[in-house]
Chains A and B, each alone.
Chain A
Amino acid sequence: MSGAPPETNFRAEELLANVIAGLIGEARHVAVGNASPIPALAAMLCRARGNGRPYVSVLGSRADNFFSDGGRELFDCAGQGRVDVFFLSGGQIDGQANINLVSVGDYQEPKARFPGSFGSAYLYFVVPRVILFRLEHTRRTLVEKVDFISAPGTSPANVYRPGGPIALVTNRCLFAFDRARARFSLTSVHPGHTVEEVLANTGFAFDLPDQVPVTPAPSPETLRLMRETVAPALAPTYPKFAATVFGIESRPATATVIPGPDPGQREALHPGEGARNP
């Protein structure tokens, strides 16, 4: 397609998912936490391209989640090195890739309180490739120093740490993270955004190459795969996202059934379950 004009008919979500899919690269198992539709889209895109590999675990999904031993299984799996890629975010993220999911201001007398650290204080250490994803790219979110370290970006050499951040994806750009130097560098700026805008809206210092390319647009083949194959598979877990971004109207979440060999057996397990649904 050399010489063809850049594809401009795509949504920001599709661009971001394509960027994240490139960061995922080769992996055996990609896990996606709750409330992460764009990372889930990216992971499932990789799976669609790889004919079923990597394994993708989408928390909150029924079909795309093989865990059967409670909440511990993801963490135990990750602790063994069986999760290659995970996604984390932060109310604040700083230039050393420390993330804050707890509070702004003094911890004992916070000005603002976020929900909490979730699994970050562990997964950031044990998952080899953690991709930071924060749509809001402002000086409020990307700060010089976080007010609370839910999980540090780097650790001293003697701390067990096979994992850590590799990149930060925002609505404006892609940063790569250098663990040895504990520093971000600007990799590319998304179409429609500028380096000046990134500088103006980033609260931490980062390496700035002389030439910063524009983030490549998703190819027509990628867009087709995302729209026709991946988005419908994502819709049961993220119905609002699939409807808003891809116009896919899915059945509501009431359509949960116990998987079983035949409907008669389901009925035996849950006699009359449908009758209680509003």
Chain B
Amino acid sequence: MDVQNWTYILVGLTFALYIGIAIWSRASSTKEFYVAGSGVSPLANGMATAADWMSAASFISMAGIISFAGYDGAVYLMGWTGGYVLLALLLAPYLRKFGKFTVPDFIGDRYYSQTARIVAVICALLVSFTYVAGQMRGVGIVFSRFLEVDINTGVIIGMLIVLFYAVLGGMKGITYTQVAQYCVLIFAFMVPAIFISIQMTGNPIPQLGFGSELADGSGTYLLDKLDGLSAELGFAEYTQGSKSLFDVFAITLALMVGTAGLPHVIVRFFTVKRVRDARKSAGIALLLIVILYSTAPAVAVFARTNLIETVSNKPYAEVPEWFKKWETTGLITFTDKNGDGLINYVADKEQNELIVDRDIMVLANPEIAKLPNWVIALVAAGGLAAALSTAAGLLLVISSAVSHDLIKKVYKPNISEKGELIAARLSAVGAVCIAGYFGINPPGFVAAVVALAFGLAAASFFPAIILGIFYKRMNKEGAIAGMVVGITAMLLYMMKYKLGWFDETLPDKSEWWFGISPEGFGTVAMILNFIVAIVVMNFTKAPPKEVQEIVDNIRIPSGAGESINH
């Protein structure tokens, strides 16, 4: 059977599964809609968090990014996993004990201020919308490449599926579909990785395989060979990298802290029953995430070596079939600059004749390694699972920010339970439509901005939540000033150095403050937030006694079951 049919079957089966789960787990109260009734087991929450977290970027793009960045790719590997340690140790248990529905809930109550609540809502919407647009686009791309439908049709199909289970099931539906999506995506990622690891090194465990000797009997280590190949073509040695130490430091920290401050990740910990379940499910989530994240650098090395060996200095007339196929999608381009008919793939931009999109490394990897058709189709189903699960989590944050934080808590406090549930569903519909619109008409800056959602989260939520838990004296004036200054600084730096809105052309790297890239600036903005918050606090009144009692209360784990029934 050909790849196309396999893809229709696997994608169709997984979609039917998601819809089935959605019908089975409909939400009947706001508590079920926002936090799945706070009755999710630590294992299920761990799986759901892992799927929620691993987006199209993790599944499709990350291995490719590492493949071209070599050592530097570690900023993503460490950055997107290390944040879970912060979550488990510094945030999740206390937020669970606090036991409300959303992140703005915590900010608004802890800082006894509607202004703080509204600032938090704006930050949550800003972070989540930039992130979700990228996911819908990812859905469209997977559809168009594997099923040869138009990208826009792909986005609309994706919208309808998410709409169905997010609107019907709320957090409850999303949680259990995410559990299924984790299984699909991890299977889809691991199968090709294991196949290729065996092919190249004879070791079935990719994590060990990429540190092993080649299976061709030459006795050379794979990594040494890749270092050699890279050097030969003029690239930096694979295991060395080329970013400055300071920037590596800043980006990694911004990603870690941003991860811990992303509202769609934080709310997952409101869904478990007890404080100790929140800690445990953070551990399970990270374990399940690390299965994919520790495989990605192995895939990166396999794919990079395979690519160089297959195409470098080979006659263009004799390239394998996958090369032509991906050429038609524009993801591979070849221009024979010196007219010798050979593919000249080198670091020097003047002479280089081959441009390879990084997404190819995962999408085309099974074809490059000549794996069976069903494995290729599996990658499509996995990519869709990754994009849809993250999109759903983000949409819930957006809809609850509107229906719970704005309508219920600010504009219409006496709204009935039923009315709020309808409002929640309607805002989910609205959010899906806006996300779909951005997926179909991506403003040029969306792709550039998605990576910066982490910087925005690091600059706004992380300090406000940490100070709210660990610094009893922190008051509303300090927290609000910190959040506003932090997120503004991040936005301005991003507009100037990433989007180039303030100058004729994008400013050069040499103008970056202290050599810190826009991706790493979240670290600076976060420090700024902390400093401003503490200085302002020192000149203003201490928080009222009731608020200090809330802080004392969230530090003690017992009694989490009651606090949710408010």
A associates with B:
no
* B interface list, Cβ under 8 A from A: none
